[in-house]
Structure 1
């Protein structure tokens, strides 16, 4: 059968063979040596299982019909026999499904003598279409009952209600049920067994036993119970249509763009919160529950949404682990060495990411979400050992997560623009498109829908226009598979989704509107430079498309602490504000600048000094600072046992405005140094292991040509003359000795003179005996140089390894 299968592949045209490789790309990983090797691989269990995983529900039902309709003597079927088992379906739809199976060579042969690839029975259910085995295979008494059609119908009609419910359940498939434990059998099941409608079996595929633990419904009974729906049950040639609402595509894009801005802003806030107060890495890996709750409160999100953004930021290379020794924060020791603490910090890539536009930042997050092999929806659930799964922990790894996200986006992209289906409708559609692959992935598909909504790929429940472009751009075979430039850098701005999203997002603004109540309105997303300035000089009150900040005494003091002077702040607001500067803001800045630095603090524990003796006396007499245990060393100097940072906080809480100074008396700027983890490669930029190569055009033609040439060479070697094959050690009747070496040299010299092709038998460097049809070019210095016209290569043979030579007939 293998030879016949290989001959059918060999008879295909190059276009048809290329189409088969495109439908089953795993067949050429690696490229097989010839068509026979391709045939063996096409019939293997793994390749057949992968091919079946991509087939829809109706095509799989037609394949079951082919398995059911096989003749017992020849194991062959036909298109007519398949059509007979699907009377309720349109014959043209059935023929199209048969064509899909034949194009993938799961069915092969002519229409009147089709054969199912043997591995199909090994990787699929032993009960095609949910029907049991024939009665004559299971039990003689059941076979006698099924042979009498009238008696079988009377027996089924006489079944009690409980027994009939059992029959209906088994008829829907699978046809196998379990008996009660401890040897007890329910009365309805006992009635069915006694009347030989159910047959006790010990296990599927074994001989029947009266005391078996399983019962099986014979195929003939199942067909009788399916007389209304048909032998294959209910057939759906076309996918189920979702019943979701249809929304205006412009509204969908607007809602999605708003969510994009929110997702990017929240991710930045999360990473800034981790930069200020890093989170410890647990001994088992991941982020602790308390740290997750703290971060969720900081950004105003639920914990699952916070975990999702953290996972995406980690996958995008914006968040990483850093070893920091002696932090004193109680973080865990390193799992590898036990000598350093590990904490989560933003990476150096985060600073570069912040300088990108909103659309480019979103692109980095969305591509990382699509490619990451983690399922954030598992965070908070429990694993097999009843332990909670933490964010960023290894337990949330799922290899099938990227495929599940692509399946969801592809399903949404296949619907008309603006369609907002329900989650259950999407799951039903995916279950029809690939039943074998969708089984067990329901939670992963729901998590994909949640993630798409959180990142703004969907708006109002429908796929956005730029989300549709991202789904198609991700699978573009002609693009860069890594999504990187020549130097390895990411190129998010070069993609269609980024350009489409840029057109939807409001343009970044470089100005603000300062109000009389000291609020600062930013009428759009701020430019990176403006955002950095506002982080220092104002407090964020509300975020969104137009954010609102407020200037306070604390924010002005913070700006003065990091090195701004009063004149700098006045110039900043005059340059950025499109409205007149309120007089209250001018007074606030001048008043804060006048008080700022009036006190100087240092370590003694710590000390306080001032040129103003009255001010020093006021501080010493302030009862609110009693816990600081201040003591006067000089009319202008006080000391405290508190550390400098704590003393500065106490003085500021009491209404003073001190400034830290170094040992030389110079003011110390208090902008904290940004702590960063080592940069990481985004998961979307890694070369993931593909299910198969994306072959098209010249690459596909090259693979087909390589297989054809290998097949020609293999078949030509098998046609080598009998003398050459005998010289190579093969058993050849009638030959008792090999050709003499001197005779082989004479044949080769004649072939060089006449430029004729010759069969050469030789022993290669590994000791294998081979034969090759070549055209000798030269014979000298102990070597034969010859050209193989089939592969267009020049070979060199050592003469002492040549065993035979025969001119081509």
Structure 2
């Protein structure tokens, strides 16, 4: 049977199969190849094949090994693989399905009798297909003679000690090569390896390695079959059943905690911005302080810092251009985020966690230079982190609603689905991702929540909503997505009232609406998620922000569902009566009051002697310090001053909040996988395939062009003769081969139908692409009618 190349195979595929290939391997069209030859070359490259095999399950890889093992020359066959797998008791239908999957990935191509494996597979896979070594005759003639005697080989194996048999069984399972200590092969050594080497069951290959001949391995595998133990089914995942509503309630409770903790963290950072380390991260001391303030451990605090930064709520601001010093600050996006409902706020944080290329679980560990890894440090960037999180959650999503699983079971399932991606480090990362998912509120009791399932489906969607192509219905547009809408029904409704207590505390019986939250932030001191404490300082803070005593009384009466305590009414009136009784300004600054006795008391106060106060009038004192310093000193001394401007009006003292610029997306910093953020829609795929087919047709046409046209002007018809051919083709309306030199000096040819010629240019139509081309006549090197080509 005639063999074909991979380019010919791809060229013959229908569009739907090409679409399936590109969906599985989008890196093949980034950027789009010029033709099928370029596509085939890219599909057979080492990196592309390794990436394709990384997405294939364990059983399919075992069938690929079977194809490699049964390969004769450059090809194998499905029948030879079926014959091998039948000895292992595997259903032929599953084997054919695995071969078809390899075809879908373009790792294997061709009909069943003549299957071909792309060359780079041998470069990225083990050199020992199915874990089997080389023939004994190839390794050592004496070992070849031993395996030729079947009865003698069995007797030698039966004479092996348990320790020696354990070595053989280990190598028979694959790979067949093992390393040994040099002393183990010395004549006076009693190691089992030396015994096996002396009896030619193992053959030394190099100074410290031995290899098991394939004939010995096949004899040891006689019960499992030549291919060894195959795994057509994933491991059984141990699950437990719960009420799905129970998982949703647990997740919703964690959502409330996440949003509250994120807001507390960002407010704390805004009050005292931490410096950005020279390495680009957040200091360990600051992280510990934030963990204590928020009420979480350091690992959770690091995760929270990474999430709010990835969500664009924390950014950086340069405070010293010369020394390049920066601080972390809340961004302008944080102010908009606070105006969202809780479900929309959570949606932004959850999407940021799912898509960020960061590994917060590594915070606190040591790098290669034994230095601790800090939160927000560049060293925490891991391009594969989003794929790991989504793959772990997809295992839970494949379970029935309400089913839960332990992290170890999820790792075992992923080790079957994508074995090339799982090792000790990635196993730990997957378990950490599941713990982070619980912290974010996507899971509850080890099971995926209902809104978590919707969020995964939204992120995997092929294209934007046709009714909302611009995404204005996103949480950033103050509308809720499907997952956020479902979560919103599980959360308690925002409340617009409080319950005032006799101890001057205000209890919020639910998440406060944004307006109430702003009022409570000003009027009270938050002690817990639902308790605010009203004190004289918080009342003065409200008065400084522009409220009057009447405003505060009206606010409390409107917001409280319980009677306003009389002690609180008296406290507000008392603070308001003294508030503003003294005013300061700049002389550098001054103090004035209508109460002369108060001015005299301030002037005589020994605690204020360092201010250097000087009486300008019976009701005015001047000071050499700034108004801010004077205001602070008087308040520390127990006086109730208020700052005023040049017109005598009170200055509202609510400070303007500093905001920083969001950090650049970590996904744009050295991402190794160029397809990590690629989402190819149906129309885009169709356009890419059409572009490849047109380019391939053009390349094939160019290869068929006459030599006289493809060559430069040194041979073939002269320029004058070429113009005559073009004029005749224009009159006869026939097609003609045109050779020309492009703007880069390269020669090319094209089959066109002339439309017009004049003013130094030829305008001709390419019927294949239905495009009109313009050629400068002085660049045309030759022309040949199609009938003569």
Same structural fold, with TM-score higher than 0.5 when normalized by the shorter chain:
yes
Residue 227 (structure 2) aligns with:
232
- Counterpart CA distance in 2 for 1:725 and 1:603 is 87
Q: More deviation in 688-697 or 453-462?
A: 688-697
Q: Does 1:191 align with 2:190?
A: no
- Counterpart CA distance in 1 for 2:576 and 2:5 is 92
**Cα gap change, 1:720/1:596 in structure 2, threshold over 3 Å: closer, same or farther?**
closer
- Counterpart CA distance in 1 for 2:167 and 2:478 is 58
- Counterpart CA distance in 2 for 1:786 and 1:643 is 81
CA contact (8 A) 2:77 2:113 kept: yes
SS in 2 for 1:805: strand
- Counterpart CA distance in 1 for 2:756 and 2:594 is 103
Q: More deviation in 609-618 or 85-94?
A: 609-618
- Counterpart CA distance in 1 for 2:372 and 2:249 is 38
Q: Does 1:748 align with 2:726?
A: yes
SS in 1 for 2:555: helix
SS in 2 for 1:524: coil
Residue 259 (structure 1) aligns with:
254
CA contact (8 A) 2:252 2:487 kept: yes
Q: More deviation in 406-415 or 428-437?
A: 406-415
Residue 566 (structure 1) aligns with:
549
CA contact (8 A) 1:376 1:447 kept: no
| Offset from partner CA, 1:179-199 (integer Å, 9 cap, x none) | 215786661111111111122
Residue 178 (structure 2) aligns with:
177
- Counterpart CA distance in 1 for 2:250 and 2:277 is 38
- Counterpart CA distance in 2 for 1:752 and 1:666 is 88
Residue 478 (structure 1) aligns with:
463
- Counterpart CA distance in 2 for 1:184 and 1:657 is 91
Q: More deviation in 396-405 or 588-597?
A: 588-597
Q: Does 1:465 align with 2:450?
A: yes
Residue 572 (structure 2) aligns with:
589
Q: More deviation in 495-504 or 716-725?
A: 716-725
The aligned runs of 1:748-767 (5 Å cut-off) are: 748-767=726-745
CA contact (8 A) 2:357 2:667 kept: no
**Cα gap change, 1:592/1:492 in structure 2, threshold over 3 Å: closer, same or farther?**
closer
- Structure 1 gaps, min length 5: 203-211, 326-333, 730-736
CA contact (8 A) 1:598 1:657 kept: no
CA contact (8 A) 1:319 1:347 kept: yes
Structure 2-normalised TM-score?
A: 0.89
SS in 2 for 1:280: coil
SS in 1 for 2:489: helix
Q: 1:666: how far off?
A: 6.2
**Cα gap change, 1:304/1:483 in structure 2, threshold over 3 Å: closer, same or farther?**
farther
Q: Does 1:429 align with 2:433?
A: no
Residue 502 (structure 1) aligns with:
488
Q: 1:319: how far off?
A: 0.8
CA contact (8 A) 1:724 1:804 kept: yes
Residue 278 (structure 2) aligns with:
283
- Counterpart CA distance in 2 for 1:484 and 1:304 is 37
**Cα gap change, 1:245/1:645 in structure 2, threshold over 3 Å: closer, same or farther?**
farther
Q: 1:38: how far off?
A: 2.2
Q: More deviation in 400-409 or 14-23?
A: 14-23
Structure 1-normalised TM-score?
A: 0.87
Q: 1:294: how far off?
A: 0.9
Residue 558 (structure 2) aligns with:
575
- Structure 2 gaps, min length 5: none
CA contact (8 A) 2:273 2:328 kept: yes
- Counterpart CA distance in 2 for 1:607 and 1:768 is 82
- Counterpart CA distance in 1 for 2:539 and 2:303 is 35
- Counterpart CA distance in 1 for 2:210 and 2:593 is 95
**Cα gap change, 1:160/1:215 in structure 2, threshold over 3 Å: closer, same or farther?**
same
Q: Give the aligned length.
A: 774
CA contact (8 A) 2:443 2:449 kept: yes
Residue 775 (structure 2) aligns with:
797
SS in 2 for 1:320: strand
**Cα gap change, 1:23/1:585 in structure 2, threshold over 3 Å: closer, same or farther?**
same
The aligned runs of 1:20-419 (5 Å cut-off) are: 20-71=21-72, 74-86=73-85, 87-180=88-181, 187-202=191-206, 212-325=207-320, 337-338=322-323, 341-419=325-403
- Counterpart CA distance in 1 for 2:669 and 2:163 is 58
**Cα gap change, 1:225/1:605 in structure 2, threshold over 3 Å: closer, same or farther?**
farther
Q: 1:18: how far off?
A: 3.0
Q: 1:83: how far off?
A: 1.8
Residue 775 (structure 1) aligns with:
753
Residue 787 (structure 2) aligns with:
808
**Cα gap change, 1:85/1:659 in structure 2, threshold over 3 Å: closer, same or farther?**
farther
SS in 2 for 1:785: strand
Q: Does 1:441 align with 2:436?
A: no
SS in 2 for 1:301: coil
CA contact (8 A) 1:259 1:454 kept: yes
Residue 658 (structure 2) aligns with:
675
Q: CA RMSD in A?
A: 3.4
SS in 1 for 2:373: coil
| Offset from partner CA, 1:82-134 (integer Å, 9 cap, x none) | 12322221111111101111222222222122222111101111122222223
- Counterpart CA distance in 1 for 2:19 and 2:719 is 45
| Offset from partner CA, 1:359-390 (integer Å, 9 cap, x none) | 11111111221222211111111101000001
- Counterpart CA distance in 2 for 1:523 and 1:395 is 43
- Counterpart CA distance in 2 for 1:701 and 1:644 is 69
**Cα gap change, 1:492/1:33 in structure 2, threshold over 3 Å: closer, same or farther?**
farther
Residue 701 (structure 1) aligns with:
686
**Cα gap change, 1:639/1:53 in structure 2, threshold over 3 Å: closer, same or farther?**
same
Q: 1:663: how far off?
A: 7.9
- Counterpart CA distance in 1 for 2:767 and 2:13 is 24
**Cα gap change, 1:785/1:770 in structure 2, threshold over 3 Å: closer, same or farther?**
same
**Cα gap change, 1:177/1:298 in structure 2, threshold over 3 Å: closer, same or farther?**
same
SS in 2 for 1:808: helix
